Structure 1
Amino acid sequence: MLVQLSIRHFAIVQSLDIDFSSGMTAVTGETGAGKSIAIDALGLCLGDRAEATMVRKGASKAEIIATFTLDDLPAARAWLHEQDMDTEECIIRRVISAEGRSKAYINGVPASLQQLRGLGSLLISIHGQHAHQQLLKADNQRRIVDEFASHRPLQDKVRQAYDSLQQSKQDYQALLQNQEQRQARRQLLEYQVQELNEFAIEEDEFARLETEHKRLSHSQSLLEQSQLSFHQLYDADEINALALVQQAVDRLTELQEQDSTLVPIIDLLSEASIQIDEAAVQLRDYVENLEIDPLRMQQVEERFSKAMELARKHQVMPEELYQHHQGLLQEYAQLEQDDDRLGELADKLQGLKQAYLEQAQQLSASRQQAANKLAEEIQQRIRRMNMAQATVQVEVEFDPSASMSRHGLDQIHLLVATNPGQPPEALEKVASGGELSRIGLAIQVITSHQVPTLIFDEVDSGISGPTASVVGQLLRKLGEKAQVLCVTHLPQVAACAHNQMLVTKFSDGNTTETHMQALEQEQRVEELARLLTGDKLTSTALANARELLGQ
């Protein structure tokens, strides 16, 4: 329940603190006094968009704070718990700078507009003075039936089925539109892949080919120079490197007794002798295994040249030819899969259409059941509001051939006959402004059972006389189950309220301010008398006001 609203520097309000009570509270005041300002301010706390023009002239910022109790509100507590916020109370604060920037807080924690709207939908339902005109729109008539039916799980299933169907349709159309391009690409890839398959280069093969090609191309010089090196190191009879080093080691060994500093040198030469001997052995093996193979040279040359040719043809580096081949194979396989997937998606679409149709039928059946009950309740209520002969029907037409939507396949029509003997017709054809207001108010009362606080902003426009009294009694009865705030200009409605607030506006010629105050019993009498006759209070008007309050 809303318990307090504090407003600072908002529109023509400089400072306003309002305490709210349970039951029905009527808000009255002269035209232009700003009766709807509190509702506009409250709307900001519920996620309405802020504008710089909302800040009072000369102020740096506007601030609105709404405080709610959470007694018997498990849904709101659960929401706060999910957001890691305090669940003992609910304080929503909205600050708007003179530049139009806005900040919001829930229990002191910064919040987004989406969060404000999410929480606000669990706390308050606001019905504006033009809400009745929305009844004429088919989408709103469908929404009313759905709210009354409270079958959100069925709605969610239809939406999910629709979204799945649309996604598959998009996938199918995308594949279908690119089918010609895929076929052309596939034909090109088929030739390229076949050519590369025949060549069948292996991973890192080009590097090996390049190495072997160099070796075979220089095999004669490699053989000659290796043989000469082996001869000079080891095999020469006259003189070779190994013999020379060993001779040096022998001489210096004889001299080391005369000079011990020769020992490290002798050790180095001894190691060198060993390494020369090992190198000579390996070089001999190399020479013995080195073959000059013209046939192998031809084979390597041909494969090396073919790899270079294919690399140029495919505009890649030769060492990248293997990876390029693998990429083309994957692309070719994907194109084949896409063609297969096109058929699979066509079959899937049929299944999804059938699933959507089944979910839409279930939703339609629930709507039909709810529509009958809703029509009966609307009829009962408007007959109490001076439409005693009115009949109401809510038609739900299921059309499987209609364009699919996230809301199902129903056409919903609210039909009314205001006079006996007339067939029910669409609202815009038969309902006057006052009748439309009564029908709209009845629907709002019927469908507003999900939130603890209901606000009606001059929803009784077009209503007067005995009907206004019935409307007031209807709102008062609703106020016994929920908190009801009603901005009204009708004394019959205001008199039915448990509480009443008066909105006044003052101006000194330079600035204008709006105030709101709770009225005591005698003040209510005077305000009701003013609503009855105008500013001049007569004894008759005061008596009529007291009679209204007594009733």
Structure 2
Amino acid sequence: MITTLSIKNYALIEKLTIDFSKGFSIITGETGAGKSIILGALGLVLGKRADLSSLKNKEEKCVIEAHFEISKYNLLPFFEANDLDYEDETIIRREILSSGKSRAFINDSPVNLQELQELSLFLIDIHSQHQTQELSEEKVQFEIIDAIADNQEHILDYQALLKGYKSDKSKLNSLLKKQAESAKEQEYNTFLLDELVVAQLKSGEQETLEADFEKLNNVEIIKESIDKSLAIANEEQIGVLHNLKEIKTSLQKIASFSPEYNVLLERITSLTIEFDDISDELTRCSEKLFNDPEQLELINQKLQLIYNLQKKHQVSSVDELIQIQTKLENSVLELGNIEEEIKTLTDSIQQKIITLDNLSGGIHKKRVESVPVLTQKLTTILETLGMPNVRFKMEINNSSTYFENGKDELEFLFSANKGTDFGLLKKVASGGEMSRIMLAVKAILAQYSKLPTLIFDEIDTGVSGEIANRMGEIMKEMSQKMQIFAITHLPQIASKGMAHFKVSKSTIGEDTQSELKLLSNEERVIEIAQMLSGNVITDSALNHAKALLN
């Protein structure tokens, strides 16, 4: 429950600190006095977005701080999951800087708005007139039924599985699209791959083939040149090799006379050996040379195939063709992998469908079982609120669609009077009837909820007299299990509270300020009398106020 609210430099409030107690508290005040400002400040603490217009003094920061007693509400797991320090008295602080930026803290640890909003779901429910209209929405109606059916854990399991199911469906659709697109190219890619596979390309073979082609294509010229070279080298009397050997013999005679001559001998010896080796190599080359037109044609065909493939794929080397071949092979392999992934995802989806159907079936069963309970409780409470002939008809039908909370569709029908047909709430219920139905709903949910605090913002719209008195009694009864606040214009409801706060607005010079004050017993009599009779308080109004309070 909320124990303290401090507001500084927000809207019409310069500085305010107020303490709250458990039970049933009333907040009253004239229209425009600032009740909405209090709720707005509290909304900021609970994670609503802020802007610079919230600041009373634009040069100073706005600070709103709320203290909550949470020891009885099993919130330790939330704090541990979000790496926050847990305190039985938890303090939430929101700061809006003059720059327009805002900061939020839980027990002095900085948090983002999402964390603040998640925690607020466990702390306070602020019920506004807008929420009364939401009662007509199927989502809200299901939330009421599911609270009574104790379906929350089952729905969380269902939603987690539904998220996986939708993710799998999305992946499957993407793969099927990719498969369809790939299939269009697959025939052509397979043709290209087959061409490359048949070519049996090897790295470096183009250079080898081109060299072999040049040899075979010029075999006669090459042989003629080699033979001529051998003749010059090996001529018996004037050949190069013969002359080198003669020079070597001559130098051997003088080598011992000087190191210089010995070096020359060594050099001519090396030259003789090298030239002799060249001559042998030329002989081997000559022996290997022969005219082979068939081999020449085969080499020419392979080179032409390589050149044609390079032109087709717009590359200039065999290595690049091999890379293209690998890419095409991977493409074909990838298509096979896509088919495997499609099968795996399809199996996963089918399994999830079975589990989703089982979970949604369990949710449906508990909902159907809870409908008579909700109908009976609503009817009982609304009879005390002046609706003796009220009837509800709730039909829950299983569909084939996976909604966020199950597979059910709900028809929530209402009739306020005998002899009238059932109709949708938003079409047949008046404002006063909607207010009473919502209060009945909140009263029922209070029996199933562990929420510490509930704030009713003018839920009494459209009612008065004895009905208002009974609404006050219901709220008072609810406050036995939770902290209840009621912002009201009705004295019948205001008189039921254990504590009574008044919002007022005053003008000091050029400045207008709102304040919230806890009324004493005497001040409370006057406030309720004023609610009964207006600004001129009569003795009758005072007596009536005292009677209501007693």
Q: Cα distance 1:139–1:283, how it changes in 2: closer, same or farther (>3 A)?
A: farther
Alignment of 1:470-481 (within 5 A): 470-481=470-481
Equivalent residue, structure 2, for 1:303 = 302
Alignment of 1:70-81 (within 5 A): 70-75=70-75, 77-81=76-80
Equivalent residue, structure 2, for 1:217 = 214
Q: Is the 8 A contact 2:26 2:486 kept in 1?
A: yes
Q: Is the 8 A contact 1:26 1:500 kept in 2?
A: yes
State the distance in 2 between where 1:452 and 1:84 align: 23
Equivalent residue, structure 1, for 2:130 = 130
Q: Is the 8 A contact 2:26 2:497 kept in 1?
A: yes
| Shift in Å, 1:398 | 1.9
Equivalent residue, structure 1, for 2:424 = 426
State the distance in 1 between where 2:383 and 2:241 align: 131
Q: Cα distance 1:282–1:51, how it changes in 2: closer, same or farther (>3 A)?
A: farther
In the TM superposition, what whole-angstrom CA distance separates every residue of 1:117-152 from its partner, at most 9, and x where no partner exists?
A: 111111111111222111122222122222333323
In the TM superposition, what whole-angstrom CA distance separates every residue of 1:54-83 from its partner, at most 9, and x where no partner exists?
A: 2225444322112223312322x2222222
Unaligned 5+ segments in structure 1 are 257-261
The code of the aligned residue for 2:206 comes to: L
Q: Is the 8 A contact 2:255 2:265 kept in 1?
A: no
Between stretches 208-217 and 311-320, larger displacement belongs to: 208-217
Q: Is the 8 A contact 1:363 1:408 kept in 2?
A: yes
SS at match of 2:406: coil
Between stretches 210-219 and 509-518, larger displacement belongs to: 210-219
The code of the aligned residue for 2:443 comes to: V
State the distance in 2 between where 1:174 and 1:211 align: 47
Q: Cα distance 1:435–1:289, how it changes in 2: closer, same or farther (>3 A)?
A: same
State the distance in 2 between where 1:165 and 1:415 align: 33
Between stretches 528-537 and 354-363, larger displacement belongs to: 354-363
Q: Is the 8 A contact 2:390 2:416 kept in 1?
A: yes
Q: Cα distance 1:304–1:60, how it changes in 2: closer, same or farther (>3 A)?
A: farther
Q: Is the 8 A contact 1:123 1:451 kept in 2?
A: yes
SS at match of 2:548: helix
Equivalent residue, structure 2, for 1:444 = 442
In the TM superposition, what whole-angstrom CA distance separates every residue of 1:44-63 from its partner, at most 9, and x where no partner exists?
A: 11111212322225444322
**RMSD of equivalent CA atoms:** 3.8
Q: Cα distance 1:184–1:423, how it changes in 2: closer, same or farther (>3 A)?
A: closer
Unaligned 5+ segments in structure 2 are none
Equivalent residue, structure 2, for 1:238 = 243
Equivalent residue, structure 1, for 2:83 = 84
- For normalisation by structure 1, the TM-score amounts to 0.84
1:359 aligns with 2:356: no
Equivalent residue, structure 1, for 2:35 = 35
| Shift in Å, 1:255 | 4.6
State the distance in 2 between where 1:476 and 1:208 align: 95
State the distance in 2 between where 1:37 and 1:281 align: 107
Q: Cα distance 1:510–1:299, how it changes in 2: closer, same or farther (>3 A)?
A: same
Match of 2:406 among 405, 408, 415: 408
State the distance in 2 between where 1:86 and 1:279 align: 92
The code of the aligned residue for 1:312 comes to: K
SS at match of 2:92: strand
In the TM superposition, what whole-angstrom CA distance separates every residue of 1:415-444 from its partner, at most 9, and x where no partner exists?
A: 333334556443234432212101101112
Q: Cα distance 1:537–1:321, how it changes in 2: closer, same or farther (>3 A)?
A: same
- For normalisation by structure 2, the TM-score amounts to 0.84
- The number of residue pairs the alignment matches comes to 534
In the TM superposition, what whole-angstrom CA distance separates every residue of 1:341-388 from its partner, at most 9, and x where no partner exists?
A: 767777776665555444332221122122222222222222222223
State the distance in 1 between where 2:53 and 2:312 align: 68
State the distance in 2 between where 1:322 and 1:426 align: 71
Alignment of 1:182-197 (within 5 A): 182-197=182-197
The code of the aligned residue for 2:14 comes to: Q
Q: Is the 8 A contact 2:158 2:360 kept in 1?
A: yes
SS at match of 1:136: coil
Equivalent residue, structure 2, for 1:327 = 327
SS at match of 2:413: strand
State the distance in 2 between where 1:3 and 1:110 align: 22
Q: Cα distance 1:270–1:116, how it changes in 2: closer, same or farther (>3 A)?
A: farther
State the distance in 2 between where 1:122 and 1:199 align: 72
In the TM superposition, what whole-angstrom CA distance separates every residue of 1:466-499 from its partner, at most 9, and x where no partner exists?
A: 2222222222222222222221112221221111
Equivalent residue, structure 1, for 2:466 = 466
State the distance in 2 between where 1:253 and 1:14 align: 119
